[in-house]
Amino acid sequence: MRRLYHNTLSPTARKVRVALSEKRLEYEIVIEETWVRNESFLARNPEGEVPVLEEPAGAILCDPSAICEYLEEVYPDPPLLGTDPRHRAEVRRLVAWFDRKFNREVTEPIVQEKLLKRIISGGAPDSRLIRAGRANVHTHLKYISWLIDRRRWLAGDVLSYADITAACHLSLIDYAGDMPWDEHPQAKEWYALIKCRPSFRPLLAEVVPHIPPPRHYSDLDF
């Protein structure tokens, strides 16, 4: 059986999980708490980060971008990277936007302070970082709205890794209770389409022990 080494608080692990489901590939999840040293896991990925994909024949793939490119080459249906060179370039650009810029400006300060810190150390969150993440998210939601105003999906006419990547990051901010959806109705409408997809619903059913999400988090109609 194909295995995905995963942690629900990792946006990139979420992305690979959704991609596997979109491509209708069977897999089992192995939960990996990357903050706890695990020699068996380090043997698979010396970097010690999720996601890691272990194929049925034994091949082990690390790094979310490498995994997604691999899935696109080996399992091209349905295409998630784009349908032509220009489309693929735009998908890759937006994937980098959310995995780098959004992650740095929003996901890391909010998820690290409000969720991971409670799990790992029980320490008090840094309110300055949380406020910065909450302020920054508006810029990104405005950008999503701008894109959706001009396209059916973020990168073009079809669902792609751009949508999956963005939605996986936003889902974690939503879990933390820091998504100002009512101020960005166009982005909210786009996210609702992602929430309703069968590939995405299992993410919304997962709960971090002792840290429940807001009531609307798993509600497909908000």
Task: Give the pLDDT score at 222.
Answer: 86
Binned at pLDDT 50, 70 and 90, residue 216 comes out as very high
For the chain, where are the alpha helices, taking DSSP H only? 11-22, 39-44, 64-74, 85-96, 108-111, 117-120, 127-150, 161-175, 185-195, 201-205
Task: Give the pLDDT score at 221.
Answer: 86
How is residue 83 written in tokens? 């349908």
User: Distance (Å, rounded) from C-alpha 11 to C-alpha 151?
Assistant: 24
Q: What is the mean pLDDT of residues 6-27?
A: 98
Q: What is the mean pLDDT of residues 133-140?
A: 98
Average pLDDT, the chain: 97
Higher model confidence: residue 121 or residue 179?
179
Q: At what angle do helices 11-22 and 64-74 cross, to 10 degrees?
A: 10
Q: What is the mean pLDDT of residues 169-193?
A: 98
SS3 76: coil
- Start-to-end CA span in the chain (Å): 35
pTM beyond 0.95: the answer is: yes
Question: pLDDT by residue (tens digit) across 25-80?
Answer: 999 999 999 999 999 999 999 999 999 999 999 999 999 999 999 999 999 999 99
Buried (b) or exposed (e) across 23-60, using 16+ Cβ within 10 A? Answer: beeebebbebebeeeeeebeebbeeebbbbbbeeeeee
